[in-house]
Amino acid sequence: MYKISNLRFKYPKNKEDTIKDISFEIKDGEIFGLLGPSGVGKSTTQKLLIKLLSGYSGEILYQGKDLNSYGNNYFEEVGVGFEMPVHFSKLTAEENLNFFKKLYSSTANIDELLKRVGLYDHRNKKIAQYSKGMKIRLNFVRAMLNNPKVLFLDEPTNGLDPKNARIIKEIIKEFKEQGGTVLLTTHLMNDVDELCDRVAFMAEGKIAEISTPKDLKLKYGFREVDVEYREEDRTVKSTFSLDNLGDNKEFINIIKEKEIITIHSKENTLDDIFIKVTGVTKDE
Ligand SMILES: Nc1ncnc2c1ncn2[C@@H]1O[C@H](COP(=O)(O)OP(=O)(O)OP(=O)(O)O)[C@@H](O)[C@H]1O
């Protein structure tokens, strides 16, 4: 769907490139996660792919053709849900959607989308009366408004309660099942695990790692087991590698001789991998 080669970009007022020679592909029908700490250039990359920023070097191909060769028809094919919802606060949700609908030649069934995200009964309320979560859900509906082929989503579930986050994730999965392609940025690694087919970790304007969540866990993973047991009046905790565990005399001895309190296997989470690959914690 997209082939990005040697992409570089510098904001006119900055001295340094924000995007420093990145190359990657987004395949047709996949959910691709663009991850990394704050300020590494995820949104900038999205904006370049959406044609909201120009003046890059390198090449972006969309459906095999240079992105620069597309005119306004490109915007018929992409849906954009950025993190900060922008709506007309004096208009109702329905009026907002009807306004944006006029920008497109083909549009989705708005009532159906509003029902899915639980806003249908609130469609005649002014946005000024909407809660933060309602605005986020409306923003998502807006991204889906033009029946896009590609969805660009920036933190789509951030700020939603678990029930509404689940609804949005289900719609994203359905979108993919129906052939849609998604570029997602999020700091929520559980969402990544659940949604993404492949992920790229960005660090300092470059791509540090690109793979499937499963392969990343295998590559960076450790396989260990924690055993807590009673020894005299104390609780003792020992950690053993899962490899050749059956031959580990110390482990076998504990299992045979001691009163076991807990026993848990451990694996690297995407959160751990995030820190290893990018060198920073997500909150830095
Ligand atoms: N309009 C702009 N002009 C100049 N510099 C900018 C502009 N927009 C972003 N930047 C800078 O470019 C860098 C990358 O920003 P970007 O928004 O792409 O990061 P990000 O990875 O999406 O971060 P976050 O996770 O916080 O959204 C940052 O250093 C930011 O300050």
Report pLDDT for 141: 94
As averages over each run of 10 residues, the pLDDT of the chain (284 residues) reads: 96 94 96 93 94 94 96 92 78 90 87 94 94 92 94 92 94 96 92 94 90 87 89 93 92 95 85 81 52
Ligand 1 neighbourhood includes 284 CB (under 6 angstroms) = no
Domain ranges in the chain are 2-212, 222-266
Could you tell me the fold of the domain covering 2-212? Rossmann fold (3.40.50)
- Between the CA of 10 and the centroid of ligand 1 the distance, in Å, is 11
Ligand 1 neighbourhood includes 52 CB (under 6 angstroms) = no
Q: CB within 8 A of 70, min separation 6: which ones?
A: 51, 62
- Between the CA of 44 and the centroid of ligand 1 the distance, in Å, is 6
Report pLDDT for 281: 55
**pTM score of the predicted model:** 0.85
> Which residue among 14, 45, 53 has the greatest number of ligand 1 atoms within 8 angstroms of its CB, and so is best to mutate?
14
Tokens 């920036």 belong to which residue?
154
Report pLDDT for 196: 97
Report in angstroms the alpha-carbon separations of 225 from 57, 155, 220: 49, 34, 16
Write the ipTM. Answer: 0.96
Q: Bin 158: left if φ > 0, else alpha if -120 < ψ < 50, else beta.
A: beta
